[in-house]
Chains A and B, each alone.
Chain A
Amino acid sequence: MAVAEHAAHAPAGAAHAHGAGPADGRPLEYRDPHQSVKILGFWLFLATDMLLFACLFATYLVLRTHTDGGPTARELFDIPGFTAETFILLTSSFTGGLATLCMRNGNKKWLMAWLAVTMLLGLSFVGLEAKEFAADVAEGANMQRSAFLSAFFTLVGTHGSHVSVGIVWMFLTLLQVARRGITEITARKVFIVNLYWHFLDVVWVFIFTVVYLSGVVM
């Protein structure tokens, strides 16, 4: 019987998981049941985070037209700006995916490189968004001006602060990979932070369509 079965919080079936060698076809981050249960937990967390955004979207849709005589979506949104943001974030999701791929191949150097590229793209996304917000506020379109603007800044800003947290988190992960190499634990960490990153990308696709595109079209 494998040792893992006696681990404190080893999930059921642990014995089989541990006994199998690397050749069992399962990716590194899933091999140790201690780590794979964390991935499940993170999926559940993403479900709650998705619902947070769903509530913010609902609020935005209700308040979208409540501009109180102030700036409207059409007047405010800057098409080249949000298009650039979209491209940058989508690209970062791709480079994040490349990082996971390199991790699976055991290529530490490229894993770190792609994580760094992803973070840089993330940083420029956040920078562009901050610039956009600053320009809006300079025109008098601030959160306090109307319900529409309150909802807009809160929804998009919540996404932006998620991205910022993601950057810091990715940096911490990068440090750990640098120090410890690709292990079952660091692999799980890289996998989860990328999951988070892709999730934010999906949320952005909704922001892009529901907020920006329909804002300038309607």
Chain B
Amino acid sequence: MATASFRVWRGDAQGGAFADYTAEISEGMVVLDAIHRIQAEHANDLAVRWNCKAGKCGSCSAEVNGMPRLMCMTRMSELPLDKPITVEPMRAFPLIRDLVTDVSWNFRAKMKIKEFKPRKPDAPDGTWRMAQEDVDRVQEFRKCIECFLCQDVCHVIRNHQLQEDYIGPRLFVHTVALEMHPLDTENRIADLKKSQGLGYCNITKCCTKVCPESITITDNAIIPLKERVVDEFYDPLRMLARLVWPDSKPPG
């Protein structure tokens, strides 16, 4: 059976280094399997997150050969085995231990976004009617598995550490999903501009490239949001409307 060598980051907030391991490789194996093999055979205490092993839960995010990936969806057969495979934690977040990072900021930042607020039920049975097409338009954004890989590569977080004033691509996707929800009546555009840092994004598209759910984060989520900001804040009519109806959607 073939073997592969790995360089896996071992360490905690105080510091760390790559450690070398080898693992046997069998057909169809993914990087997460190799990590589990290393854990069972050589490093019982190796820290790694995972749940579903099928790309559905977004737990196993890491940087494999420098690329942000889900370990459970990265086949060994797509990697060159002639040199060691490096496996590192997501570098944008504080390290807890080995491959596990502190992603709690993402959960805190989400709480800043105004929650779903439906219009009054308007169908005779006390619920709503919605067209499949309207639902379909939003589903792309609701596929998000919260793996935070997009947050990991976004330079505003990774290099500039602007977490306090910025919510990042994952949460722009979340905001779009709410804004485009056929029943939602809330307006989140002012927050995006004032406290959530939409303006920091300069459309590098790095986030879109790494999204395992193939969500076109930049083109379909961020750019439309930016256009909404422009419409609402720099369109002279809207600017006037805001003076008259502060904090709400103008009628019509």
Q: Do chains A and B stick together as partners?
A: no
Interface residues of A (CB under 8 A from B): none
Interface residues of B (CB under 8 A from A): none
